[in-house]
Amino acid sequence: MRPCQRAGALFALTMCASTMAAEVTLAAAGAGKELVSRVEAAFAAKTGLRINASFDTVGAQRERVERASAEARADAVILSAAAIAQLNRAGLLDAATIRDIGDVQVGLAVMASKDAPDISTPDALRAVLIAAPSIAYADPARGATAGAHFAKVLVELGIQDRVATKVTVLPFGVEVIEAVGAGKFALGVSQSSEIVQHKSVRYVGALPVPHQLATRYQIAALKDRPNGARLAEFFASDAGQRASRESGFSAPN
């Protein structure tokens, strides 16, 4: 290879490495998808880092981080506080970077063109679920927080068998809401932050007491991931907290 060719190849490799380094990888629960999209531009402008995010259920992302080699793990995670605590106990996180994002509620969604039914009491919720022609929620077996909780609520309401034939379990909460918006299901169950971002659906509201479930979400950097730490710190800033509120996370109590 001629000297100029070697120089050109070296420059290309350097540029490629620089491009790869100029990002922060993020493994996030589906509840954080809208939030991440809201902060991408501001974070890039402040740090020069692009967010390379993947989304799945809390359980799937936590297990993915636990199974991955140190080199293959993401720089940061956005998961439920319980999942963050589990990863921290396993020694995978930089504990000093753990930051609260906010709380979300398990709630119901209907198509945007439909009126929101009354689910203000357990009896009202029971009646709505029995009357609904179809219901969808995310797969508890894949670690879906809202799906796992709703499956328990059906048992608590004593209607699990009555609605079994019209319930569909989908892999992911975002898929549930998109399907409701497309008219494939009359009711969808998911986290409030996954519902409010979709203009094709109407957020009916949180499940009534005593069936409510608020889930705290947090961000944390993996150990020895300075770019992950920068992302966690950004979410703790005024801009990050404002984006959290706008994307359906309530301020932590």
Class of the CATH domain delimited by 104-206: alpha beta
Residue type, 104: V
Q: Is 3-103+216-246's fold the same as 104-206's?
A: yes
Give residue limits of the domains in the chain.
Answer: 3-103+216-246, 104-206
Residue type, 60: A
- E-strand ranges in 12-121 read 23-29, 50-56, 76-80, 99-111
Asked if residue 167 lies in contact with residue 135, where contact means CB atoms within 8 angstroms, the answer is yes
Q: What is the pLDDT along the chain (253 residues), one digit of tens a residue?
A: 554 444 444 434 333 433 445 999 999 998 899 899 999 999 999 999 999 999 998 999 999 999 999 999 999 999 999 999 999 999 999 999 999 999 999 999 999 999 999 999 999 999 999 999 999 999 999 888 899 999 999 999 999 999 999 999 999 888 999 999 999 999 999 999 889 888 999 999 999 999 999 999 999 999 999 999 999 999 999 999 999 998 889 888 7
Q: In this structure, what token pair is assigned to residue 68?
A: 């991955």
- The answer for residues whose C-beta is within 8 angstroms of residue 197's C-beta and 6 or more apart is 33, 34, 247, 248
Distance (Å, whole) CA 10 – CA 8 = 5
Class of the CATH domain delimited by 3-103+216-246: alpha beta
- On the 0-12 / 13-18 / 19+ scale of CB atoms within 10 A, 189 is buried
